[in-house]
Structure 1
Amino acid sequence: MKHIALSLGAALLAGTTLCADELSDLKAQIAELQEKTDALIDETSDLKTGFNYTTVDANASVNGMGPAASKVYYSKSPLSIGGYGEMYWSSPDSDGAAGDAYTDVYRFVPYIGYKFSDNIVLNTELEFEHGGEEVAIEFMYIDFLLHEAFNLQVGNLLVPMGLINKRHEPTLFNTVQRPDVEKYLIPSTWHETGILAYGSFSDIGLSYTAGIINALALNNDNNMPGSVNKKWIRSGRIGSEENGPMQRVGFVGRLDYRGISGLLLGTSAYYGAATQGRPSGVNAFMYDFYGQYEKAGFKLKGLYTAMTVSDAEKIFAEAADGAEGYYVNAEYDLLATLPTRYRLPIFAQYESYDPVSSVAGGTRPDLEQTNTTVGMNFFPHEQVVLKADYVMTDFHDSALEDYNVFSLGMGFVF
């Protein structure tokens, strides 16, 4: 009797295994059929619209750019349309920078790209700021894709410096506003006319960019007698302005290391002319070091940058000739260990900078400040973010009043 029971058990087990195998095969067939059906639906839609639509790959990055800016490179269609947007509401406290709460439809940015061939690509970024009050071309270049180790970009280009400038889409940084260090010291978004060579050596995890761009114009209204202020570098951008001066150039270079999973280490620099027009013979050296590490929902990043200007007294006797600053940002996704597609990172950021750390002669204005920011993001979709943060600003000069700002923001890429 015992042998009969064992035989029956073995037979049942074999039958169960057979059913499980058949069920697994059936699931695979259904999945394959669903994939073919989805592809057929896409192709039918393409025939109706005449446009082969490509969604954003949130993990894609070509030459260090954001996923939406990289879209044209992996688009199914020669014509690619993408973009991003962001807006926010802010409420300053009752001290210091006191004021009523306000809102700003900060940016709406379409990307339009076109592939002339597999090796010649046009990529453009149009920017509408503050509800359309300011309109600009943020980049417009033709990319000649020659080899993994060597490619050329020609046109109006994103300057390859820092962490934010080339990756400025709102889903890529967790604060409502970009860090001040990468706004006033590295003047993001910084774009200039020029030519850049870039490439990567994937076997050793290195990538580089090097080239010539239009020079800064640090002889601007924010670096003149009685008006030296924190915008003296930011106002030195020429960008894509009408008939923008290009009498002098600068050299820019970048080196990144990604040979360890989750780790980025890099440095970039600008050296060249610091003025357009008169005076001549003034040069600027801007450099930075940065790093980022992420693993299992945790991300840590930081950057240090500095600028020095030689012969700044040619601009005027007390012209700004130095700036330096750094920031560190840490975040952790509270939903990282849960089986969900949502993300809920909390973060803290500390930045300290002096936008006028030295002047050519005389007494410099004391504009040194620190910003401590805490906040959180919610990603209901990998392309959509809702933000909240609280920024506490402290000035080194006791004559300047400290202040705090609470902000809510939203951003998206497509």
Structure 2
Amino acid sequence: MKLKLLLSALLIFAISAQSQIKDSTHIQNHQDQQYPGLGKAASSIFFSEKPWSVSGFGEVNGVNYNYSPMKESLGDMELYYTSLYRLATFFGYRFSDKIIFNSEIQVEYLTDGIEGHTEFNFELFLDFRLHQALNLRVGFQPISIGYINSNDEPLLFYSVNRPEVERLIIPTTWIELGVGAYGQIAPKLNYFVNVVTSLDASEFRSATWVRNGREAFDYSSFAVSPQLIYSPRNDLDLSVSGYFGSVGSYDYEHGGRDLTNQSQLSLYSAYARYTPANFRFLAVGALGNLSDTEGIYEITKQKHGEGQVLGQQVYGGYLEAGVDILHWLWSNRSESKSFVHNNKDMKLPIFVRVEHLNTHGKVAESLQGYDRIQRNMNILAVGANYNLSEHLVLKMNYQFRQDLTPEQYSIPSGNQFEFGLGFEF
């Protein structure tokens, strides 16, 4: 009860907090008040007239399942919670037009109806704005891959939870320690390149692929994550991105021999986003390859007592379409606003998303007969958002989930109803 009262108070504060100011930087993203590689709240310091800024976002979500998730196999409560409370606060300071400090402190409380879990996550980085074609970002930062990882604030995507492709194939939200370079190399072409610490293969799980290996900050191995974004017009973005590197080096014993695992991860993603008038269309695809999964089986068995069979190749993608119907239902609205609504900014988008993913598109021949948990599914999501203002949204959606996994590798699955509230300040 205390937690709910606290979140309610924070929500009221957030909605009535500062409005953001237009950017004076030399790098522009066509989305209003969104700096390259960051969400809107995270971008506040780059647009503030003052040398400092405080901004953030929050979520209060719930999920109702018509089945009982197998919690031990999923490992991450974010994949099976019934209630989630999340608050992220950004503190930024501009030392000069060339050097900008940004940070995030995020606290989450999740419960599955029986147990509760609190998490603290953070970002901390400096931007060195050197030239339109070359800028640097140093510190704990979101890496540039896929769509959601740079757009993970609740007002930037329709559904209550992130699409499964960008949770199980691309392990969003994905933050690493590293150095990034970004800039504009042509009038309509932006790039990002991150050199970051790698994932921890000893924490991988069969059901969730590489998701549980995030934020290991293993300084013995590194990866590179490049991204290109081409925007031929203001309402169209085309992007390709990837992640290439090792996932830690571990010694283990097998068959009386001392061996070292040297797995390499290659993850590719592309998206197209088209936003004409009151419509929004989004297509995202991802393909991953992981080598030496036999070694990963042995090191997970050595560490946890049970070996994990990871897919050598995984893939997934989704198509999403949404339209704001309030534009036609209430076209002649009068000016009226308060701290919880603004008639001019109100929207009622309805959306549909078709999604497919497979965490074991290809499995090493030597591991074919071993027990594993596979996620091979089709998902149809339909839902609606009610944007009371540009800072506050109510969400709901229903997922029809079809499990295509062979029975011996499957875990309980079924449809689910999701609802939530999101805000930013």
Alignment of 1:375-394 (within 5 A): 375-394=383-402
Alignment of 1:77-116 (within 5 A): 77-93=50-66, 95=67, 97=69, 103-116=82-95
Q: Does 1:287 align with 2:284?
A: no
- TM-score (norm: length of structure 1): 0.79
**1:130 corresponds to which residue?**
109
Of 116, 122, 139, which residue of structure 1 is paired with 2:123? 139
Q: Does 1:343 align with 2:320?
A: no
Give the deviation of 1:409 after TM superposition: 0.6
Q: Which runs of 4+ in 1 moved over 4 A?
A: 95-99
Alpha-carbon distance in structure 2 between the residues aligned to 1:280 and 1:151 = 36
Give the deviation of 1:64 after TM superposition: 3.1
> Which consecutive residues of structure 1, in runs of 5 or more, have no partner in the other structure?
1-51, 223-228
Alignment of 1:227-376 (within 5 A): 229-238=206-215, 244-278=217-251, 279-316=260-297, 318-337=309-328, 338-340=331-333, 341=344, 342-360=346-364, 361-363=366-368, 365-376=373-384
Seen in structure 2, the aligned counterparts of structure 1 residues 370 and 138 have a Cα distance that, compared at 3 Å, is farther
Q: 1:193 touches 1:213 (CA, 8 Å); kept in 2?
A: yes
Residues 384-412 of structure 1: per-residue CA shift (max 9 Å, x gap): 10001111111113635541111221001
Secondary structure of the equivalent of 1:192? strand
Q: 1:255 touches 1:266 (CA, 8 Å); kept in 2?
A: yes
Q: Which one-letter code corresponds to 1:153 in the other structure? A: R
- TM-score (norm: length of structure 2): 0.77
Alpha-carbon distance in structure 1 between the residues aligned to 2:327 and 2:154 = 20
Give the deviation of 1:358 after TM superposition: 2.4
Of 12, 16, 20, which residue of structure 2 is paired with 1:55? 20
Q: Which one-letter code corresponds to 1:389 in the other structure? A: N
Alpha-carbon distance in structure 1 between the residues aligned to 2:296 and 2:417 = 39
How many aligned positions are there? Answer: 350
Q: Which one-letter code corresponds to 1:321 in the other structure? A: Q
Residues 179-231 of structure 1: per-residue CA shift (max 9 Å, x gap): 0110111111101001010001462x100011311112223252xxxxxx222
Alpha-carbon distance in structure 2 between the residues aligned to 1:402 and 1:117 = 52
Alpha-carbon distance in structure 2 between the residues aligned to 1:98 and 1:151 = 45
Alpha-carbon distance in structure 1 between the residues aligned to 2:402 and 2:21 = 39
Secondary structure of the equivalent of 2:220? coil
Secondary structure of the equivalent of 2:171? coil
Q: 2:359 touches 2:374 (CA, 8 Å); kept in 1?
A: no
Secondary structure of the equivalent of 2:162? coil
Give the deviation of 1:316 after TM superposition: 3.2
Seen in structure 2, the aligned counterparts of structure 1 residues 247 and 65 have a Cα distance that, compared at 3 Å, is same
> Which consecutive residues of structure 2, in runs of 5 or more, have no partner in the other structure?
1-16, 23-30, 72-79, 111-115, 252-259, 299-308, 334-343
**2:144 corresponds to which residue?**
160
Q: Which one-letter code corresponds to 1:353 in the other structure? A: L
Give the deviation of 1:365 after TM superposition: 4.4
Residues 274-313 of structure 1: per-residue CA shift (max 9 Å, x gap): 2244434321110111111011111110111011012332
Residues 94-126 of structure 1: per-residue CA shift (max 9 Å, x gap): x56599x98523311101111111110111111
Alpha-carbon distance in structure 1 between the residues aligned to 2:21 and 2:173 = 22
**2:203 corresponds to which residue?**
220
Give the RMSD, CA atoms, in angstroms.
2.4
Q: 2:263 touches 2:293 (CA, 8 Å); kept in 1?
A: yes
Of 171, 176, 194, which residue of structure 2 is paired with 1:211? 194
Alignment of 1:57-76 (within 5 A): 59-76=32-49
Alpha-carbon distance in structure 2 between the residues aligned to 1:398 and 1:357 = 12
Secondary structure of the equivalent of 2:242? strand
